[in-house]
Structure 1
Amino acid sequence: MQSGKNLLQKTAQVLHDSASGVICLPENPSLDTIAAAAALYLGLSKLGKNVSLACSSDIKSDLFAADKVQPTLTTSGENLVISFPYTDGSTDRIDYFIQANRFNIVVTPGKNHAKLNEKEVTYGYTGGSVDFIITVDATSLRSLGALYQDNQELFKGKKLINIARTLTNTFFGSVNLVYRGISSTSEIVLNLLRSLNCELDKEISTNLYQGLSFATQNFSSPQVTADTFETAAFLMKSGAVKAKEEKIPDAPKKISFERTAARSMDSLESEPTGLEGDNFDDEDEEDEEWLKPKIFRPNPDKLS
């Protein structure tokens, strides 16, 4: 079995010798998976690789390069593919016209459907070939969903790099960068990028930090080690920005309780321990009178 260092070197060599590839995410990926894949995409692009991101599930994330994730596999080629979300009936027709040397495509929405959001339109090229395929946190090729089901021929004979930390991973790649004891997939990708001598920037570091933070439940997971904190510190030094935490307003009862708790002990000791208006000293005196024996004397006036 190869050591972790040898696996990293082998993976780095495969990528170094390749020009183009795709990074595939499984269906319904976690934030750590998206962060790791997007960071790897940014790093490989920075190294001059022609690479694309793909996931058959809809990805909604504020992570850097998450908007580059496409629902289908796109390879470097000469055929431009324009892609946008579609549901049955959402599009009535697609037309085109040429004006001022511009080719215009017109998408008419279906009845009672919203118009197409221009921010959801993606572009890519197909008709070409890829040198490598990277999967991130896929337990098997079938866990990629439609990405694999609709492109099985594309996967044949390719350099397949399997990056994962899941216990159920089936080691299906030609290179299996699988570390089952590590606390996050983002850490694996960080080590790979460092093996490729990729300079980390703010975007890459932020993605990896947020993936690490999510996977470790904000560094409270039992899998967290000293190495985890060293990785977090390294990413922060490399420019990582923490995700903004939403401030949740305190409930009224909680505010009232905190105000009471904030009082000094002196003020609490000086206050009566009973309810307002109660006088426990008077009650004690009344109790003592009640316990004394009572002598009933007849009224002389009534006897006469």
Structure 2
Amino acid sequence: MPELPEVEVTRLSLTHRIEGARVRAARLGKPLRWPLGVTPDSLRGAVVGPLLRRGKYLWMPLQQGAEQGAGGLLLHLGMSGSLRFEPTLPPPGPHDHFELETDRGTLRLTDPRRFGAVVWSPGLDRAPAATLLARLGVEPLERAFSASVLHEALRGRRVAIKQALLAGDVVVGVGNIYCSEALFEAGIDPETPAQQLGPERCERLFRAVQDVLRRALAAGGSTLRDFRDAHGMGGAFQSQASVYDRAGLPCLRCTTPIRRIVQGQRATYFCPVCQRR
């Protein structure tokens, strides 16, 4: 958390309001995962371009004039971060670690656990942005993702399918909640070795991943603790979950109690009857 739906919801709630804004000042709080890479004063006067998303990263282009050229900020919300953009905001608190003041309002990154990041890069195709994005898998809601692509990527992978999806190098942004939900929808046991999924089950999983993510986007993502979009609104997908965080409760299909196990230090929820190896 936040995963692809939450980051995309943030982008959608922010981009049309901040695009074209001119930066007046930038301020740093406590250190985040990586340093900004430039002095905050160097961002003054830049104009914000249209926001893009790659996996769980947001790219905010900043045009700094013909002589200075262009670049941008690569933002990551970490495990507990959220962005807020308003004409006026209250004074920053202990968990507010980056602010970008513009002529339209202030963008603030709040991150209680400080695993998030705001990093300057001269371009998406240049370091450090290119380095950070280099190993990301295919976008799950774009045309490049398909059942055949998924099947080919899983060949030879002995790791459990849940962990293969979470790794992010096969398909990007399918986080813990959405992995559990997609595997339930596809009827696949989360401990199934990834390489054992044939074309038919990869087709079911491909469709389930897309369906779950689209429903999560429509619900504004999931808010378990901290996530809010740029308007300050929480998501509602968690209330629609079929298995996630429902350990001991009856399966919505067969009434068997939902089980909880731990995979790679992450909680996994599944139905032992509806999901098969």
TM-score (norm 2): 0.24
Q: Which has the higher helix share?
A: 1
TM-score (normalised: structure 1): 0.22
Q: Tell which structure's C-alpha radius of gyration is larger.
A: 1
